[in-house]
Amino acid sequence: MRDHIRALIEAIGEDPAREGLRRTPDRVAEALSFLTRGYSMDPHEVVNGAIFNEQHQEMVICRDIDFFSLCEHHMLPFFGKAHVAYLPKGRLIGLSKLARLVEVFARRLQVQERLNRQVAETLQEIIDPAGVAVVMEATHLCMVMRGVEKQNSVTVTSSMLGEFRNNPATREEFIHLIRNPNR
C-alpha cells in the first residue's frame, strides 16, 4: 500500500521525498487500515454473547451514535449520527453492541443506504426482535468539498423492518423519539 501511496503523491505532482511527505505513505497506509478495519470484524463476534433473555416488550432506542465511514465512490469520509431501535421479543442486546454494530459496517467502504440496511438486517438476524428501525443522518465530504460543493447538505436514510415497517404508529413513535429540537 505504501508504494501505491507514494506513486499517488508523485502523480499529483508532489515529491514524496520532501521532508513533510517522507512518512506520509506510512501514515496514510496506517490510517486506511484503521478506517477500514470493519472488514476484519465479524458482527456476531462483536456482540460477544451480550444477548439476554428478558420479557421487556417496549421499544429500545440508542440515539445519536456517532459514526465515520468512507464513501466507496470517492474514498472520501462521510460521518454523522445513527439512531437504532428494536422491539424486543424476549431477548435484549447489550446497549453498547448497537453502537458496535454500526461501527463494524461503517468502517468499510460504503454507501450510506447499504450501511443503514446492514445494521438493521444484522440486528434482526442476531436477536430476532418484532422489528428494527435504523435512521442515519450524514454529511458526505464528496458533496461538501468537491462536486456540487453543498456545505450544509445532510443525507438521511432509513431501514424499517417488521413492526416498524408494518405499523405506522410504531414507526411514528420511533421518529418522534429520535427528534432533537436542537437540530
Write out the catalytic residue numbers.
71-74, 112, 140, 142
Q: Is the pLDDT of residue 183 over 60?
A: no
* Confidence grade of residue 39 (pLDDT, cut at 50, 70, 90): very high
Q: Is the pLDDT of residue 114 over 60?
A: yes
Query: How far is the C-alpha of 131 from the C-alpha of 86, rounded, in Å?
Result: 5
* Confidence at residue 92, expressed as pLDDT on a 0 to 100 scale: 97
* Confidence at residue 22, expressed as pLDDT on a 0 to 100 scale: 96
Q: What average pLDDT does range 77-105 have in this prediction?
A: 97
* Confidence at residue 70, expressed as pLDDT on a 0 to 100 scale: 98
**pLDDT, tens digit (0-9, with 9 covering 90-100), for 45-77:** 999 999 999 999 899 999 999 999 999 999 999
Residues 109, 127, 170: CA angle, nearest 5 degrees: 90
Q: What are phi and psi of 135, to 5 degrees?
A: -120, 135
Q: Which fold has domain 46-178?
A: GTP Cyclohydrolase I, domain 2 (3.30.1130)
- Amino acid residing at 12: I
Residue of 182 and 17 predicted with greater confidence: 17
**pLDDT, tens digit (0-9, with 9 covering 90-100), for 120-164:** 999 999 999 999 999 999 999 999 888 887 788 999 999 999 999
Q: What average pLDDT does range 33-46 have in this prediction?
A: 97
* Confidence at residue 182, expressed as pLDDT on a 0 to 100 scale: 63
Domain ranges of the chain: 2-35, 46-178
